[in-house]
Amino acid sequence: MRQKPDIHNHVRRDAGFSFIEILVVMGIISVLVSMVVVLIPNLQERSKQTKSKDNVKSMITLMLGRSTEKGWPRYSGKNFVLSLVATGQIDRRNSQNLEILFSPGDVLYSLEDADKERYADVTKTALKNSTDFHELTSYAGRRNGDREYLITPDQLKQGTMIMCDDDDGPLHHPDGLVTGWTNGSVRFMEWEDLDMVKPEDPDNPDEFLGDASGHDMLQKLFGH
């Protein structure tokens, strides 16, 4: 005789997932969570690099327009960068214009925390007198106020670094620096590209600009 199907067993099999199926689902979820944990910070860092490169590109484009007529700013460090404010190329009256002075990866200095009234003090005379405006920008500039570091015609022809992330406080980017050059190019350079070892403590790195730097290009820049 033909046996009747076991309805009770069929119902039990359809009533829920097996233990193996649950393990598979949990494994898939774990992989997806791991991907998100890695992917989101990477995307955020890429976004910060892109925004910072856009900032530096804008500033160097402004400098290039003026340098053909009057030469590169004869100031050093952050005052080199802030010459854009002193000469009116960045209009200090509109705070939105000042946003390009700050790296989105800088947790120490930001436009939000800056004393915006101090930008009125950023004049050519103040810069020439080496007045300290270090908190008004995230970017280090060429030591072009020092005779031994003046940009030479040969350096201009070859292209030389004139701007990068400062070395005040924590690193803006863990893997390297946003750099700007006299030929208008802007690059994100990893530490190994600079023949340097990645700082062991990104929250409190050793100074990597100026005389403390082990890299020739970075010796010619100063962050304070």
> pLDDT at residue 7 above 80?
no
Give residues with Cβ within 8 angstroms of 202, minimum separation 6: 170, 171, 174
CA distance 195 to 179: 15
Angle between helices 78-86 and 19-70 (to 10 degrees): 70
Least confident residue range of 66-70, 107-111, 141-145, 217-221:
66-70
Percent of all residues in the chain with a pLDDT value above 90, rounded to a whole number: 68
> Residue 42 pLDDT > 80, yes or no?
yes
Sheet holding 186-190, edge to edge: 186-190, 176-181, 161-165, 139-142, 221-222
Look at the pTM and tell me if it is higher than 0.95: no
The token pair at 204 is 């409190």
| DSSP 8-state symbol, 206 | P
Beta strand 176-181 pairing with 161-165: antiparallel
Token pair of 36, please?
Answer: 């998100």
> What gap in Å lies between CA 58 and CA 55, rounded to an integer?
5
Q: What is the pLDDT of residue 193?
A: 93
Neighbours of 95 (CB within 10 A): 13
pLDDT tens profile 157-197 = 889 999 999 999 999 999 999 999 999 999 999 999 998 99
Q: Which pLDDT score is estimated for 41?
A: 82
Residue 13 above 60 pLDDT? no
Phi, psi (degrees; rounded to nearest 5) at 67: -65, -30
